[in-house]
């Protein structure tokens, strides 16, 4: 039987398995380990040659590929600090800036986009976003999610914004930040930059520019063109592997970041969810509803469970709320089906305004849904 297992394993192995892999699998089969090593990891990694002629990533030159094979050193080693300084100077050169706050963030260009918005925009502040493709749409969505008052300038894909149109919008909306995509890859457009930074200075707002698809392939001068925040990605014209997001903030942008009244971070998110949950809980109890988890310290802030009120059908309540208030409230899940109603106020939806909407909807449902006599 044991010999038969050896033969079965050998016949099942793909032809590219590394020498000794079959023996390791046989040892695993006869050991106490119940999950064997995956066959796909027993052979050498093979990455096929592709001509990367799409909008990115691009092919990485041999010199950069070779650099990835250099020895690993500690993140606190003296040589690592030197490398980081060298990278900073390289980004400053590529951006044509002398900004001290110039870094290489770990992540995609989208990471730098979020970094700029989260640090420089506070909830309620007006933000003006130029949309002529997907990246303006993405920035507008992120800004809305962090609570900004988003205003938009919109062109069809391939269209561009004149300086006159931009100045009119700046004067009208008075934003704290104006966003524009330099290289709109979804439409293949490079946007003129001259004079826009001057207009932003005139109207006292920050100028944020996305150059993920353009940096290194089209001329851009951060300091000369008065760009306050500029970011890019490593995987396009810079010819690096994906996963690095160069970003630079000038002194104006840093002043805005460091003088903000609210601080971005996990602690603020935790605090907000707790406050909104407690507000919702108080309102639910005011409606005569009982919370399913009685110990306040054990209640999940993101999802509130309400004991189904006596005499009501939970499905009728959820259906009524959906039909008359366009609001999703769900029943239980698994063992809690028939025991609870679940209300989720999380992330973008976590606000006292939304909690009030829930309370109005549930109050309305309790008045109009059928209640059986008990």
Distance CA 265, CA 27 (A): 49
Give the DSSP per-residue string, 246-293.
EEEE-HHHHHHHHT-SS--SHHHHHHHHHHHHHHHHHHHHHTT--BS-
Q: What interhelical angle do 2-12 and 21-29 show, nearest 10? A: 140
Q: Which residues contact 269 (CB under 8 A, 6 or more apart)?
A: none
The alpha carbon of residue 147 and the mean position of all alpha carbons in its chain are separated, in whole angstroms, by: 15
342 is in an annotated binding site: yes
Distances (CA, A) of 91 to 77, 96, 97, 268, 290: 22, 8, 8, 32, 57
Strand order in the sheet with 177-181: 101-106, 244-249, 229-231, 206-210, 177-181, 126-131, 149-154
Give the integer Cα–Cα distance in Å for 361 and 324: 8
Bind-site residues = 342
Bind-site residues for substrate = 342
């Amino acid at each position: 039987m044991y010999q038969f297992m050896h033969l079965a394993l050998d016949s099942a192995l793909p032809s590219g398995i590394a020498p000794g892999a079959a023996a390791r699998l046989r040892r695993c089969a006869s050991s106490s380990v119940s999950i064997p090593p995956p066959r796909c990891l027993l052979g050498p990694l093979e990455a096929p040659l592709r001509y990367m002629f799409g909008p990115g990533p691009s092919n990485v030159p041999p010199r950069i590929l070779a650099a990835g094979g250099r020895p690993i050193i500690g993140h606190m080693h003296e040589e690592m600090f030197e490398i980081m300084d060298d990278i900073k100077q390289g980004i400053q050169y590529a951006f044509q800036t002398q900004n001290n706050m110039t870094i290489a963030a770990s992540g995609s260009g989208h990471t730098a986009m979020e970094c700029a918005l989260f640090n420089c925009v506070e909830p309620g502040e007006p933000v003006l976003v130029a949309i002529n493709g997907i990246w303006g749409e993405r920035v507008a969505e992120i800004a809305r999610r962090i609570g900004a008052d988003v205003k938009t300038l919109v062109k069809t894909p391939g269209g561009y914004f004149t300086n006159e149109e931009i100045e009119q919008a700046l004067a009208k909306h008075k934003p704290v930040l104006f966003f524009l995509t330099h290289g709109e890859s979804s439409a293949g457009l490079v946007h003129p930059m001259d004079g826009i930074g001057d207009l932003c200075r005139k109207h006292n707002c920050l100028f944020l520019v996305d150059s993920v698809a353009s940096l290194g392939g089209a001329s851009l001068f951060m300091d000369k063109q008065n760009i306050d925040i500029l970011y890019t990605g490593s995987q396009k014209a810079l010819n690096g592997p994906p996963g690095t997001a160069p970003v630079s903030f000038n002194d104006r942008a840093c002043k805005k970041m460091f003088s903000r009244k609210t601080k971005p971070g996990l602690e603020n998110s935790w605090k907000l969810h707790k406050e909104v949950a407690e507000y919702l809980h108080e309102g639910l109890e005011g409606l005569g509803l009982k919370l399913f988890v009685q110990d306040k310290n054990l209640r999940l802030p993101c999802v509130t469970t309400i004991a189904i009120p006596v005499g009501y059908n939970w499905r009728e309540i959820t259906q009524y709320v959906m039909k008359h208030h366009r609001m999703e409230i769900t029943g239980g899940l698994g063992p809690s089906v028939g025991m609870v109603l679940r209300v989720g106020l999380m992330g973008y939806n976590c606000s006292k305004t939304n909690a009030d909407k829930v309370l109005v909807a549930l109050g309305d449902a309790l008045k109009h849904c059928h209640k059986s006599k008990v």
